[in-house]
Amino acid sequence: MDLLQNLAMGFGVALTPANLLFLFLGSLAGVIIGALPGLNASMGVAILMPLTFGMDPITGMIMLCGIYTGAMFGGSITAILVNVPGTSAAAVTCLDGYQLARKGRAGAALGMTAFASAIAGVFSVVVLMTMAPALAKVALKFGPPEYFALCFFGLTIITSLAGKSMIKGIIAGTVGLILATVGVDPVGGVNRFTFGKVELMEGFNFIAVLVGIFAVAEVLVTMERSLHLSFYDARVSGLLGTKQDWKDSRGAFVRGSIIGTLVGILPGAGATIASFLAYAEEKRWSRHPEKFGTGVIEGVAAPEAANNAATGGALVPLLTLGIPGSETTAVMLGALLVHGLRPGPLLFTQQPQFVWGVIASLYVGNLIGLLLCTVFVRQLAKVLKVPNPILMPLILAFCFVGTYAVNNSLTDVWIMLVFGVLGYLMKKFDFPAAPVVLALVLGPMVENSLRQSLLMSQGNLGIFFTRPISTVLLALAFLSLFTPVLGAFREAKQKAVAG
């Protein structure tokens, strides 16, 4: 009963004209950002976040959620029409999506991905809505040792899953943690690594770092590649698909939704992994796996369901524990902090209107995404033809003013530029950027909870292993850290034996 009352309250918040308008604008911007190759959800949320500063926190967050879900919807448009994924989460959609377009079934492919995304998105919000309050209640019992163990677990998963090389992922995370120590020491009040700069006393401006590492770096990478894309000039019709399409996609909708939601909940394993897993699973379940890659409708429905379901899943750890589960939720955590809100279990009791307003807006956002990707998809396909030599400078100008707007400071702009170059070099040398950002967010939490725990135990590290929740979380953290190491070791040994 409580659930329905809370949901009704949430819809009351989400359906006010202003919130609905900004949700629509956010979803529209998200679909366009998701569809444009080189731009993705985290970048979109990062560069448009400064626009929310002048808004009520609920309205701002609703708009950011619109961008997040919209980007997942949009990613498939270019994957199907151009064979270039709009976001990495839509990469696997290219395999069958583009083949369907070549067979003259671009409309059906786009339509089924939109329906798959909407159904899975709604499913994941139902899970979020039912699971999050219960998890928040458990999290209320967390003390510093549990928080330390949780943050540590989150960091280990993120670093071990990110990028091609695990060691580079962990190095990136460690560098991020070191950067997070810049500023006033949270326990002793001593200035650390600020070089006398007042601007650095609160650490690096999170938004400047985000915009630099995600947006500016991405622009530089796009600039390096060819600036021109060739569109497959497909006629977009038959968006509702045939009866057979719906029959073939039923299983994909269900499996994609479940896989996406579960993977999304895991810290670090975001939409991209979810979509690849869902595709592989769909192929395994199929009676004709050999046809995958030649243009089968399940091949687009499953990954698109999974990547959209991952968005609702990723919000579970963010809203209940204050731990970002993905790059984009890390950016959203930054936005919440800027708005003076501290995500975590207390948010459910102290700001119920905010939490339930956001949850309700996710339902509406998925419907708006469906509307945009079915009714307006032809118009959206035209927007994608804005050439990169015009688009990229516009994005840079947006990054610039957005970063400046946070503190009205050119120092932040310099920080953005430095991290932009750093992010670009990281991409070039296969160092994943996500661990740096997540470590920057989690770093202060890790340090605070570690030092508070040690104060509680008078310096005894045993405190982490005498409390059941922290023991389990630390065991999981070590497991997630050492399983890939053991796997790599075994692989190397097998290679040595074979070669």
Q: Which residues bind other proteins (CB under 8 A)?
A: 50-51, 53-54, 167-168, 170-171, 174-175, 177-178, 181, 185, 187-190, 192-193, 219-220, 223-225, 227, 387-390, 392-394, 396-398, 400-402, 404-405, 408, 410, 413-414, 417, 421, 424, 428-430, 447, 450-451, 454-460
Q: Supply the minimum distance, in Å, between the C-beta of residue 242 and other proteins.
A: 42
Residue 314: CB atoms within 10 Å: 33
Other residues' Cβ atoms within 10 Å of the Cβ of residue 445: 20
Residue 102 or 197 having the CB closest to other proteins = 197
Q: How far is the CB of 173 from other proteins (least distance, A)?
A: 9
- The CB-of-326 to other proteins minimum distance in angstroms stands at 23
In terms of C-beta density within 10 A (0-12 exposed, 13-18 middle, 19 or more buried), how is residue 316 classed? buried
The nearer residue to other proteins, 309 or 454, going by C-beta atoms, is 454
Q: How far is the CB of 18 from other proteins (least distance, A)?
A: 14
Question: Closest approach of Cβ 454 to other proteins, in Å?
Answer: 5
DSSP single-letter state for residue 227: S
Of residues 140 and 187, the one with the C-beta less far from other proteins:
187
The span from the CA of 131 to the CA of 125, in Å, is 10
Reported as type and span, the H/E element at residue 191 is strand 191-192
**Number of residues assigned to the chain:** 499
Q: How far is the CB of 200 from other proteins (least distance, A)?
A: 13
Closer residue to other proteins, CB minimum distance, 108 or 177: 177
Closer residue to other proteins (CB): 179 or 271: 179
Angle, CA of 282, 287 and 290, to the nearest 5°:
80
Compute the least distance from the CB of residue 425 to other proteins, in Å: 9
Q: How far apart are CA 443 and CA 176, in angstroms?
A: 8
How many C-alpha atoms does 130 have within 13 Å on its Cβ side?
Answer: 6
d(CA 480, CA 173): 15
Torsion over CA: 246, 247, 248, 249 (sign): positive
| 77 within 8 A of 229, measured Cβ to Cβ | no
**Closer of 53 and 246 to other proteins (Cβ):** 53
The residue (of 181 and 237) whose beta carbon lies closer to other proteins is: 181
Minimal distance, residue 392 CB to other proteins, in Å: 7
Exposed, middle or buried, 398 (CB in 10 Å: 0-12/13-18/19+)? middle
66/299 with CB nearer other proteins: 66
Rounded Cα distance between 307 and 67, Å, is: 14
Taking the least distance from each CB to other proteins, the nearer of 193 and 465 is: 193
CA distance 151 to 162: 16
Minimum CB distance to other proteins, residue 405 (Å): 4
Cα 246-260-20 angle, rounded to 5 deg: 80
Cα 270 from Cα 167, distance rounded (Å)? 20
Element containing residue 183 per DSSP (H, E):
strand 183-184
By beta-carbon proximity to other proteins, the closer residue of 294 and 460 is: 460
CA torsion through residues 262, 267, 272, 277, sign: negative
CB of 230 to other proteins, least distance (A): 16
